[in-house]
Structure 1
Amino acid sequence: MSKEINIPENPVSRFLFSSTKAGWIWLFVRLYLGYSWITAGWKKVNSDAWVGENGGAAIKGFVSGALAKAEEGKDVTGWYASFLENMVLPNAKVFAVMVAFGELLVGIGLIVGLLTGIAAFFGAIMNVSFLFAGTLSTNPLLFILATWLVLAWKNAGWYGLDRFALPLLGTPWARKGNEFVGHDRNNTSV
């Protein structure tokens, strides 16, 4: 029978990812990412090529560019090109709405600090999708920052609505019977 070994967390990661004092650091990261997402999403939501009468035209152009890169053997792998061609292109209008409103919602979530880890996760998914499609731009930086926010989910929204929402919502792994048990920042039951 093997004995469980607990390796203590180093003080730097404990501070960055668990201490509410590091919430100020994450506030600046959240606001930068949130502003980036909300401005991009707002432009798309108000664009005819994304969600208006010509909804999906922008996605079709983006996908066509990615498929051209894949044919040249540049920046886009075959499996992702296949996904773009067979899933995204035929459903361009749906994907355009999902991207536009997804960017807007991620931005709002990050700015107000509500469900910060979840918002950052979906932002990172979009960044990776753009990277797979061969678009560099600011996506690598935004992906790295979003990944850090996902890791700091417990304290990244401390200066935001998560300070109140997370203790009320609890976590799926802290269940008591059929109800979720809320926890405060010191992992004591609320």
Structure 2
Amino acid sequence: MKEENEIIIPENPISRFLFNNVHAGLIWLLVRLYLGYAWLTAGWGKVTSDAWTGENAGAAVQGFIGGALAKAEEGGDVAGWYAHFLQNVALPNAKLFSFIVAWGEVLVGLGLIVGLLTGIAAFFGTVMNVSFLFAGTLSTNPLLFILATWLVLAWKNAGWYGLDRWALPLLGTPWHRKSKDNIET
């Protein structure tokens, strides 16, 4: 219900197309498949690695954190507050973080590839990208972060060519066709 004094700013046509039109879902499908493949292959490499989930689980995370802490000591690209988090939270729980990162990457990749809970999968991908960026690791993280952020914004139609088309209405997020009785103003 619209209040009498409420001011509605109309959405520009480009945003309306990108974030609300099912035809833009084809664009998001390409972005989803690219990101999903990147996350899935990175995660699968970790899940099948002894240093991430095997007998030596946590070793790779300890090495990664050690590198980030060294950068922080040198006054590099790692902020002091994040170094404190790595030193006092992540490092003592390296095995747990190893499991979370490895399987998190796999789940984000699968979610994006099949288009299931696309906005949520992309959000958790951005969380991981930001964590890697805070730790001073560039690589492909800036690109993946930007693309995943756009997918988060396009959550309504990014999974249209995927399982979200059916899953989101079942979860209470309805997509519906415009009809004469249902015309947006």
The reply to whether residue 146 of structure 1 matches residue 138 of structure 2 is no
Shift of 1:168: 1.3
TM-score, reference length from structure 2: 0.93
For 1:10 and 1:170, locate their aligned partners in 2 and report how far apart those are by CA, in whole Å. 27
Is the CA contact (8 Å cut-off) linking 1:20 and 1:185 kept in structure 2? no
Shift of 1:166: 1.0
Per-residue CA shift, 1:54-87, capped at 9, x if unaligned? Answer: 0000000000000000000000000000000000
Q: Sequence identity of aligned pairs in percent?
A: 76
Match of 1:91 among 90, 93, 97: 93
CA distance in 1: counterparts of 2:175 and 2:31, whole angstroms: 24
> Take 1:185 and 1:104, find their aligned partners in 2: how far apart are those partners?
33
Q: Distance in 1 between matches of 2:177 and 2:78?
A: 42
TM-aligned CA deviation for residue 94 of structure 1: 0.2
87 and 131 in structure 1: CA distance in 2 versus 1, 3 angstrom threshold: same
Work out the number of aligned pairs and report it: 178
The aligned counterpart of 2:16 is 14
The gaps in structure 1 that reach 5 residues or longer are: 172-181
Could you tell me how far 1:185 is from its partner in structure 2?
5.9
Identify the residue that residue 125 of structure 2 maps to in structure 1.
Answer: 123
2:173 is the counterpart of 1:184? no
| Superposition deviation, residue 91 in structure 1 | 0.1
Q: Is the 8 A contact 1:154 1:185 kept in 2?
A: no
Are 2:132 and 1:158 equivalent residues in the alignment? no
Residue by residue over 1:90-148, the C-alpha shift from the partner in whole angstroms, topping out at 9 and shown as x without a partner, is 00000000000000000000000000000000000000000000000000000000000
Q: Alignment partner of 1:155: what SS?
A: helix
CA distance in 2, matches of 1:98, 1:123: 12
Give secondary structure in 1 for the equivalent of 2:155: coil
Q: Quick one: distance in 1 between partners of 2:9 and 2:93?
A: 48
Instruction: Assess, with a 3 A threshold, how the Cα gap between structure 1 residues 24 and 99 changes in structure 2: closer, same or farther.
Output: same
| Mapped partners of 1:28, 1:13: distance in 2 | 18
Change (3 A) 1:166 1:184: farther
Name the SS of the counterpart of 2:137 in structure 1.
coil
User: In the alignment, what sits opposite 1:176?
Assistant: none
- Return the offset for 1:184: 2.6
Aligned-CA RMSD value: 1.6
The structure 1 segments of at least 4 consecutive aligned residues displaced by more than 6 Å after TM superposition are: none
Q: Which one-letter code corresponds to 1:28 in the other structure?
A: L
Q: Does 1:3 align with 2:5?
A: yes
Structure 2 unmatched runs, 5+: none
- What's the offset of the Cα at 1:186? 5.1
Structure 1 residues 75 and 160: alpha-carbon distance in aligned structure 2, compared to 1, 3 A threshold = same
Question: What amino acid sits opposite 2:84 in the alignment?
Answer: S
In structure 2, what is the Cα distance between the partners aligned to 1:73 and 1:141?
25
Tell me the TM-score normalised to structure 1 length: 0.90
